[in-house]
Amino acid sequence: MNSISAAASAGTGSGSGTGTETGTGTGLSGERFPVRERFPVWKDKFSLVSSMIQRQDLAFVQVPMQTTVAFITHLRDLEGYAHLVFFTAIDYIEDGIFRLTYMLHNYRRHHDLGVQVDIPREDAGMESIHHLWPHGATYQRELKEMYGIDFPGSPGVDESFVLEGWHDIPPMRREFDTKEYSEKTYYPRPGRVTYDPTEYMKEKLYPSEAETW
Amino acid sequence: MSLKDIVAPFSVWKRAFEKPYTNRKPLDTRPGAPRYRGFHINAVDTCIGCGTCEEICQNEAIDLVPVKETRHGDSGLRPKIDYGRCCWCALCVDICPTGSLGMSNEYIWIDDDPEVFRFIPGYDEKSWNHAELGYRRAEGYDLLEGQRVGMPMLSFEESRKSFVEMVQGFSAEQAKAEADRCIACGICVATCPAHMKVPEYIKAIRDDNMAEGLKIVYNANPLPASCGRVCSHSCEYVCAVKHKGEALSIRWLKRYIIDQIYLGDYQKILDEGEPDNGKRVAVIGSGPGGLSAAYYLRLLGYQVTVYDANERAGGMLRYGIPEYRLPYDQVDKDIEYIRSLGVDIRQNTRIGADVDFEVVYRDHDALFFSTGLTDPYGLDIAGEDLPGVLSGLGMLDDVTEGRKPDLGASVVVVGGGNVAMDAARTSRRYNAEVTILYRRREEDMPADDEEIHEAQGEGCLLITQAIPLRIEKGDTTRLKLFWGRAEMVSDGPGRRPKPVLIEGSEEVIACDTVIPAIGQAADYSFLPEETAARLTFKRGYVEVNEFHQTAEEKIFAGGDIANPKRDAISAIANGHSAAKGIDIYLRLLQKERATF
């Protein structure tokens, strides 16, 4: 354990190349990677909005829309976050935003970093990252289909992904009424019948008790 | 189109002579993982048909269909699953209160008739019905809460010192947390003698809508402040959540609703009923049966007069139940609302003594009596007439009237019902040492479990399988009670064993007071002979039909004299039925007269 943590905490430095960091670890014991120490730097360079350390191997940071792709590029090329684990969205309909999360992984430090950005729900769109990771295009195609978030220039972004022949609004948007859609589309099999326990028990156990009339 | 595109379909034919990549049918056994979510299994004898699986199913794949006999606590319905809709998410398994639903690790089912993929797990014969492996709800993960929200109560040291109410009631937060445990299956509704819409008033608590709650409660029970405290709560014995640990505190949730609303606000919330229809109904007895009948009759437009022999209304609610369980102001809250609707309650009016039965009979269009069980049974042993032998009911009566009972320093209570527990606990509050003798086993005691527990908690000594033999004058104390040990002897299958005295066993307790509380009989002496002759009685009960009408068409009856459950809520239900019955009877009568 000691050797692992020593190796993992070796390096908070300003990287000098893709996936190669130097510097000496000053991490707290038990903390693999003192990501906290990077926050002021990121705040300074990329206007970090907020940060949260979830576990010793997972943190979330939020950045404005304008600096997001620059920040992610920086993380990939200079801070070792070479892998895009997933890219997803959450619909905060009450706040009028989508929150995008780019989950990045640093193999050397065994550290995950979730980069979050809030974008307006209205005419939702975001700069593409397909040039950073080709499979980013797949996530973006899915986000376009499921949430209606556009990524101009992303290959195949307007093609159907899993919803061939879909004509409704994107189904993961919260204004989409799943129940209504399913009732319209998938009607119950004919001949199905069900009984309500309360009513059924009344009929069986006390059909003639006057106070229940 | 290239040449390759044209040739390719034919080149596939060469595969026809190779070993196929796909699995051959019938498939070789490749069992699913040990916790695989395969086809459903259901222990149909454990399942209670509560429908929670149907409720939680996101795909509406589950129907409840009749399979077994309907009993209290079991609807007799069982889930039928449509595999055309099921997605094997296992939420039905995870939420099942009894744990009867599970999944086998079987996953292959081939048929050319699509209709067969709708089946009743555990009931329809399937190869996987007895599968050991497959998905079950994981330990330590629960969608339902099996533990009750604790009720704030006085400690036993505190409670036995005074008549202050022991159960203090839920806070809003506690009530909501407790209400959240309800799965709204409605299994309890059949078992409540008044068939109160329990899930609906619990929902009102979740929605923080007390006015709605009050309306739902009053639809079936016009004495909820009292019932919310002392109801025998048979609903809680069948609660589906009880299979997870503890039943919902249904009784206390009802009390919570009532505690939140001032009596003065009732009129704004509740329906005041139909206008006066000019007909008059007499009610004899102001216990729960009489008051319930009076309330619903008044709502139906009748002029109601209640005659009661006691100084104050409420019957056993007031005179039989001590204040630490049911404070008098709560009985008053229930009664005063009924009185405010225009019900005329006449106290100190004993039928047969202060008013003639015939006069009441003649002056009213119909009559309901619910006079209760008032004559205590004697022990039928020598020395019973010695000074210091008090009846349980008489002693509780005295306390209600504000007379201090003459108990001395030590009391022996004989009996195992709620009156015995109340007499014992009341004696503790007068600082007496209390011993309770009961002739059967503790599990046979008819008293509520919490009464037995609380009596013991307050320091009453319980001796079971003890039969009183005789009472004599004491040496240093007022009395000596001789008693013998009993053994339980089987009384045939399906019947509870009966206590038989072990010959030669004899013990003695020196005490100042002996309180027999072994039950009461009805007193029908207020009925004139020729009226009594027109009614029919069976083993002390008045016989009534489903409208609670006696053999004399103008007379209706209910409560302890007409039903074997002998509790407040059954009396309330009887009163409600009788009110409906009287209404039907008087309307029909009117119609008949109009045709002649």
Q: Tokens 């299956």 label which residue?
A: B185
Nearest CA in chain B to A193: B63
User: What is the mean pLDDT of the segment spanning A28-42?
Assistant: 77
B176-206 burial, b if ≥16 CB within 10 A, otherwise e?
bebbebbbbbbbbbbbbbbbbbbbbbbbbbe
**CB-based contact A192 B63, cutoff 8 Å:** yes
| Burial degree of B528 (CB within 10 A; 0-12, 13-18, 19+) | middle
- Tell me, which fold does domain B158-268 have in CATH? Fumarate Reductase Iron-sulfur Protein; Chain B, domain 2 (1.10.1060)
C-alpha distances out from residue B169 to B65, B247, B325, B392, Å: 39, 17, 12, 28
Q: Is the pLDDT of residue B263 over 80?
A: yes
Share of chain B above pLDDT 70, in %: 98
* Statement: residue B11 has pLDDT above 80: no
Which residues from A are below 8 Å from B50, CB to CB?
Answer: 197
Closest CA of chain A from B449, distance in Å = 26
Q: What is the pLDDT of residue B6?
A: 77
With beta carbons under 8 A apart, name residues in chain B contacting A188.
Answer: 60
- What would the two tokens of residue B596 be? 């002649």
Q: Where are the alpha helices (DSSP H) in B383-503?
A: 392-400, 418-429, 449-457
Which residues are CB-neighbours of A207 under 8 A, at least 6 positions away? none
pLDDT at position B581 is 95
Q: How far, CA to CA in Å, does A106 sit from each of A79, A169, B534? A: 8, 37, 95
Rounded (10°) angle between helices B328-340 and B288-299: 30
From CA A132, how far away is CA A134, in angstroms rounded?
Answer: 7
Domain residue ranges of chain B, discontinuous segments joined by +: 29-119, 158-268, 272-375+528-595, 378-518
Tokens 């225009």: give the residue: B342
| Chain A positions in Cβ-Cβ contact with residue B49 (cut-off 8 Å) | 197
Nearest CA distance, A53 vs chain B (angstrom): 27
pLDDT in tens, B330-348: 999 999 999 999 999 999 9
What integer pLDDT is reported at residue B27 of this predicted model?
64
For residue B223, count CB atoms less than 10 angstroms from its CB and return exposed for 0-12, middle for 13-18, buried for 19 or more. buried
With a cut of 80, say whether residue B161 has pLDDT above it: yes
For residues B382-391, average pLDDT:
95
List, for residues A102-119, the tens digit of each pLDDT value: 999 999 999 999 999 999
**Residue B204 reports pLDDT greater than 50:** yes
Per-residue model confidence (pLDDT) at position A32? 63
Cα dihedral sign, B124-B129-B134-B140: positive
Write out chain A residues lying below 8 Å of B60, CB-based. 188
Contact B580 A211 (CB under 8 A): yes
Q: Closest approach of chain B CAs to the CA of A28, in angstroms? A: 33
Comparing alpha-carbon positions, the chain B residue that sits nearest to A208 is: B546
Where is pLDDT greater, at B6 or B504? B504
Element (H, E) at B433: strand B433-438
Contact B76 A211 (CB under 8 A): no
Give the minimum alpha-carbon distance from A213 to chain B in angstroms, rounded to a whole number. Answer: 8
Contact B413, B434 (CB under 8 A): yes
Q: B548–A210: do the CB atoms touch at under 8 Å?
A: yes
| Gyration radius of chain A's alpha carbons | 25
Mean pLDDT of B195-218: 97
Q: Are the beta carbons of B64 and A189 separated by less than 8 Å?
A: no
d(CA B220, CA B408): 44
For residue B323, give the nearest of B394, B251, B451, B422 by alpha carbon: B422
The residue ranking higher by pLDDT, A32 or B101, is: B101
CB contact under 8 Å between A202 and B60, yes or no, is no
**Residues in chain A within 8 Å Cβ distance of B579:** 211
Instruction: Identify the CA nearest to B526 among candidates B369, B306, B305.
Output: B369
Q: Compute the distance between CA of residue A93 and CA of residue A174 in angstroms, rounded to an integer.
A: 7
Q: Average pLDDT, stretch A194-213?
A: 86
User: Searching chain A, which residue's CA lies closest to the CA of residue B571?
Assistant: A211
Are A197 and B49 a contacting pair at CB < 8 A?
A: yes
Helix or strand run (H / E) with residue B250:
helix B250-259
DSSP H or E segment with residue B464: strand B461-464
Contact B190 A201 (CB under 8 A): yes
pLDDT digit string, tens, across residues B123-134:
999 999 999 999
Residue type, A130: H
B26 cis-preceded (ω within 30 degrees of 0): yes
Architecture of domain B378-518 in this structure: 3-Layer(bba) Sandwich (3.50)
pTM: 0.79
Instruction: Among B195, B217, B569, B582, pick the best mutation site for testing chain A contact (most A Cβ within 10 A).
Output: B195
CB count within 10 Å of CB B18 equals 7
The Cα–Cα gap between B408 and B345 comes to 38
Work out whether strand B344-346 and strand B303-307 pair parallel, antiparallel, or are unpaired.
parallel
Shortest alpha-carbon distance between residue A204 and chain B (Å): 7
Q: Which residue has the tokens 């639809």?
A: B219
Helical pair B198-206 and B250-259, crossing angle rounded to 10 deg: 60
Map out the domains of chain A with their CATH numbers.
2-163 (3.30.460.80)
For the cut 50, the answer to whether the pLDDT of residue B52 exceeds it is yes
Picking from A179, A189, A195, A201 by the largest number of B CB atoms within 10 A of its own CB, the best residue to mutate is A201
Query: How far apart are the CA of B71 and the nearest CA of chain A, in angstroms?
Result: 8
Confidence of residue A187 (pLDDT cuts 50, 70, 90): confident
Query: Do A210 and B186 count as a contact with CB atoms less than 8 A apart?
Result: no
Size (chain A), residues: 213
The class of domain B29-119 in CATH terms is alpha beta
| Beta carbons of B54 and A194 less than 8 Å apart | yes
| A-interface mutation test, from B48, B69, B70, most A Cβ less than 10 A away | B70
pLDDT (0 to 100) of residue A3: 35
Give Cα B82 distance to the centre of its chain: 36
Question: DSSP strand E in chain A: where?
Answer: 50-55, 58-62, 83-92, 97-106, 111-120
Decide: residue B274, CB within 10 A, 0-12 exposed, 13-18 middle, 19+ buried: exposed
Q: How confident is the model at residue B180 (pLDDT cuts 50, 70, 90)?
A: very high
Q: Decide if A200 and B82 are in contact by the 8 Å CB cutoff.
A: no
- B101 with B47: CB under 8 angstroms? yes
What's the pLDDT tens digit per position in B532-542?
A: 999 999 988 99
Per residue in B80-123, pLDDT tens? 999 989 999 999 999 999 999 999 999 999 999 988 999 999 99
The model's pLDDT over B400-426, given as tens digits with 9 standing for 90+, comes to 999 999 999 999 999 999 999 999 999
A198 with B186: Cβ contact below 8 A: yes
Chain A residue numbers touching B75 (CB-CB < 8 A): 195, 197, 200-201
Q: What is the pLDDT of residue B495?
A: 86
* Fold match, B29-119 / B158-268: no
Q: Which residue among A186, A193, A197 places its CB closest to the CB of B75?
A: A197
Mean pLDDT confidence for B138-150: 92
Residue that wins the pLDDT comparison between A24 and B423: B423
Distance from CA of A203 to the nearest CA of B (A): 10
Q: How confident is the model at residue B1 (pLDDT cuts 50, 70, 90)?
A: low
Q: Which two tokens stand for residue A133?
A: 């990771």
Q: Which residues of B touch A206 (CB under 8 A)?
A: 190, 195
Beta strands B498-501 and B479-489 are: antiparallel
What is the per-residue pLDDT for B26?
67
Buried b / exposed e across A157-195, counting CB within 10 Å, b at 16+? beeebeeeeeeeebebbeeeeeeeeeeeeeeeeeeeebb
Contact B75 A200 (CB under 8 A): yes
* B272-375+528-595 under CATH 2.130.10.10, yes or no: no
From B61's Cα to the closest Cα of chain A, the distance in A is: 9
Q: How much is the pLDDT for B588? A: 86
């304008």: which residue's tokens?
A66
Interface of A with B (CB under 8 A): 186, 188-189, 192-198, 200-202, 204-206, 208-213
Nearest residue in chain B measured CA to CA from A213: B580
Residues of chain A neighbouring B190 (CB-CB closer than 8 A): 198, 201-202, 205-206
Taking the CA of residue A161 and the nearest CA in chain B, the distance in Å comes to 22
Contacts 24+ apart (CB under 8 A), A179-183: none
Question: DSSP H helical segments within A52-169, as ranges?
Answer: 68-78, 136-147
Q: Which of B363, B67, B73, B56 is nearest to B189 (CA)?
A: B73
| Tens-digit pLDDT profile for residues A132-178 | 999 999 999 999 999 999 999 999 999 999 999 899 999 999 999 98
Of residues A4 and B454, more confidence is placed in B454
Give the relative orientation of helices B198-206 and B172-179 as an angle to the nearest 10 degrees.
130
What is the interface pTM, i.e. ipTM, of the complex? 0.88
Q: Is B108 left (phi over 0), alpha (psi -120 to 50) or beta?
A: beta
Cα of B218 vs its chain's centroid, Å: 17
Q: Could you give the CA distance from residue B304 to residue B284 in angstroms, rounded to a whole number?
A: 11
Cross-chain residue pair A213–B60, CB shorter than 8 Å: no
- pLDDT, residue B592, reads 76
Rounded mean pLDDT of B1-7? 75
Q: How far apart are CA B579 and CA B333, in angstroms?
A: 22
Q: Is B168 exposed, middle or buried (0-12, 13-18, 19+ CB in 10 A)?
A: exposed
Per-residue pLDDT at A30 = 44
pLDDT of residue B91: 96
Share of chain A above pLDDT 70, in %: 83
Question: Taking residues A188-193, what's their average pLDDT?
Answer: 83
Q: What is the average pLDDT score of chain B?
A: 94
- 3-class DSSP state of A210: helix
Chain B residues with CB inside 8 Å of A213's CB? 580
Q: Which two tokens stand for residue B52?
A: 């929670």
CA–CA separation, B232 vs B420, rounded Å? 15
Task: Please give the pLDDT value at position A23.
Answer: 37
| Closest CA–CA distance from residue A210 to any residue of chain B (Å) | 5
Residue B21 is predicted with a pLDDT of 76
| Shortest Cα–Cα distance, A166 to chain B (Å) | 21
Residue in B closest to A206 by C-alpha: B190
Inter-residue contact B134 to B102 (CB < 8 Å):
yes
Q: Decide if pLDDT at B164 tops 80.
A: yes
